[in-house]
Amino acid sequence: MTRPRAASERFVAHLPTRTRSRVTVIHSPLLDIRPLATQVVTHGMRGLIFSSANGVNAAVSLGVTRDLPAYCVGSTTTDTANRAGWQAHMAGGTAEELVAALLQIRPNSPLLHLRGEHSRGNVAERLTELGVTTLEQPIYQQRLLPLTDEALGAAAGENTVIAPIFSPRTARQFADVWDGPAPLLLAAISEATAEPLKKLGYERMKVTKEPTPKKMRKAVKKLVKHAMRVEGEPGAD
């Protein structure tokens, strides 16, 4: 698992029991998410945009007011924002869908997109150009991490390794740090995420049709079944 520990544990907890029983889980986060030392000024804003749960959590730690509506990408981000106290609305499962949804809704603006230092989609710029004035502010950093010793040991071993990859930046880092003879099966949450992984010597890669945790769990389940058929015995890592 290459996501930050809390997100990885949530993902694993929602895998089917039979799938979990067939694997050994190795946690090796490739991104360290930390709030930036910044002040978020929402005066004059009419709504917030969150494109990840990391943005929501950083906003909470920075004391961002909860009195504005929040437009979110994906169910996980929306649920996280609702639990934190925002009136959150899911506006699609991707940045593209968010932009399309907000252009249709035409909410009161200006909006403020609270995002990480590294962000895809040019959400604020595109919305502003199309008539929904949107500002943006980075509120958390995503520091790249190497593989843990346990993950390096798995890469150097003989057991099959299944790696779910959840973002293009994580994919680029994984492609840079993965080095070993272990049979590798990959699950990518999008085509953009899959692209950097294509240079690796993997045995199989499944790309989800929708960028959701549910589709990723389904992809992992299929990869576990594939590994079991190939190896003919339990113990795929």
The pLDDT, as a whole number, for residue 211 is 87
- Residue in 96, 54, 48 with CA at minimum distance from that of residue 72: 48
- pLDDT tens digits, one per residue of 139-173: 999 999 999 999 999 999 999 999 999 999 999 99
pLDDT at position 53 is 92
pLDDT above 60 for 104: yes
Mean pLDDT across the stretch 200-204? 95
pLDDT at residue 234, rounded to an integer? 47
**How far are the Cα atoms of 105, 112, 153, 181 from residue 159, in angstroms, in the given order?**
50, 46, 10, 9
Asked if residue 236 has pLDDT above 50, the reply is: no
CA end-to-end span of the chain, whole Å?
11
Q: What is the pTM of this model?
A: 0.83
Residue pair 183/203 in contact by the 8 Å Cβ criterion: yes
pLDDT of residue 232: 63
CB 46 within 8 A of CB 111: yes
* Angle value at C-alpha 28, between 192 and 176, nearest 5 degrees: 50
Q: What is the structure's pLDDT at 118?
A: 84
pLDDT in tens, 7-58: 899 999 999 999 999 999 999 999 999 999 999 999 999 999 999 999 999 9
Between residues 216 and 211, the one the model is more confident about: 216
The percentage of residues in the chain with a pLDDT greater than 90, rounded to a whole number, is 88
- Compute the distance between CA of residue 237 and CA of residue 235 in angstroms, rounded to an integer: 6
User: What does pLDDT average to over the chain?
Assistant: 93
User: What amino acid is encoded at 211 in this protein?
Assistant: P
How far apart (Å, rounded) are the C-alpha atoms in residues 65 and 84?
11
